[in-house]
Amino acid sequence: MAFASLKQNFQDWITQQWVILLGKKIRPADYQWLLGPFGKTNGIGLKFIQQLAENENLTIDDKQIDKGLLQSISELDLPEQELKNLSKDVIDFYENTSNYDFDLNVKWNPVFKMFGGLLKILFSNRIQQLNIPMGSDKNSEALQSQIIHLIDKQSKAVKRTIWLRTFKKSGQVVYSGVYEPCTLPNGTSCIKAIFPLPNGSATVILNPTVGEKGELILNSSGKKIGDSGFYFLLHDAKGNFWTKFIKSFRDKLVVSSENEQITAIQTLTLWNLRVLQFTYHIRHC
The answer to whether residue 140 scores a pLDDT higher than 90 is: no
Residue 2 covered by a domain: no
d(CA 193, CA 129): 13
Residue 4 covered by a domain: no
Residue 3 covered by a domain: no
Confidence of residue 203 (pLDDT cuts 50, 70, 90): very high
Residue 23 covered by a domain: yes
pLDDT tens by residue, 258-271: 988 999 999 999 99
Q: Tally Cβ neighbours within 10 Å of residue 67.
A: 20
pLDDT tens by residue, 230-257: 999 999 999 999 999 999 999 999 999 9
The answer to whether residue 100 scores a pLDDT higher than 90 is: yes
pLDDT of 189 reads 96
pLDDT tens by residue, 184-196: 999 999 999 999 9
d(CA 96, CA 69): 7
Residue 1 covered by a domain: no
Among the ranges given (100-109, 121-130, 154-163), the one the predictor scored with the smallest mean pLDDT: 121-130
d(CA 96, CA 47): 25
Mean pLDDT of the chain: 91
What is the number of H-type helices and E-type strands within the chain?
Answer: 6, 14
The answer to whether residue 30 scores a pLDDT higher than 80 is: yes
CA dihedral 120, 121, 125, 131 (to 10 degrees): 10
Confidence of residue 122 (pLDDT cuts 50, 70, 90): low
Residue 126 covered by a domain: yes
d(CA 23, CA 21): 6
pLDDT of 163 reads 94
d(CA 161, CA 145): 13
Long-range own/partner contacts, residues 2-9 (CB < 8 A, 24 or more apart): 2/236, 2/237, 2/238, 2/240, 2/242, 3/236, 3/237, 4/199, 4/234, 4/236, 4/237, 5/41, 5/199, 5/236, 5/237, 6/237, 7/41, 8/41, 8/198, 8/199, 9/41, 9/126, 9/198
Do 39 and 197 meet the contact criterion of CB atoms below 8 Å apart? yes
Confidence of residue 229 (pLDDT cuts 50, 70, 90): very high
Confidence of residue 46 (pLDDT cuts 50, 70, 90): confident
pLDDT of 43 reads 65
Which residue range forms the structural domain that includes residue 18?
A: 10-284
In the predicted model, what is the mean pLDDT of residues 145-167? 93
* Straight-line distance from the first to the last Cα atom of the chain, in angstroms, rounded to the nearest whole number: 53
Q: How many domains does the chain have?
A: 1
Q: Tally Cβ neighbours within 10 Å of residue 118.
A: 11
The answer to whether residue 26 scores a pLDDT higher than 70 is: yes
pLDDT of 138 reads 59
Strands of 24-113, DSSP E: 24-26, 58-60, 100-108
Confidence of residue 75 (pLDDT cuts 50, 70, 90): very high
Do 206 and 182 meet the contact criterion of CB atoms below 8 Å apart? no
**Rounded to two decimals, what is the model's pTM?**
0.92
CB under 8 Å to 118, separation ≥6 — which residues? Answer: none
Q: Is 132 left (phi over 0), alpha (psi -120 to 50) or beta?
A: beta
pLDDT of 152 reads 94
Residue 102 covered by a domain: yes
Residue 142 covered by a domain: yes
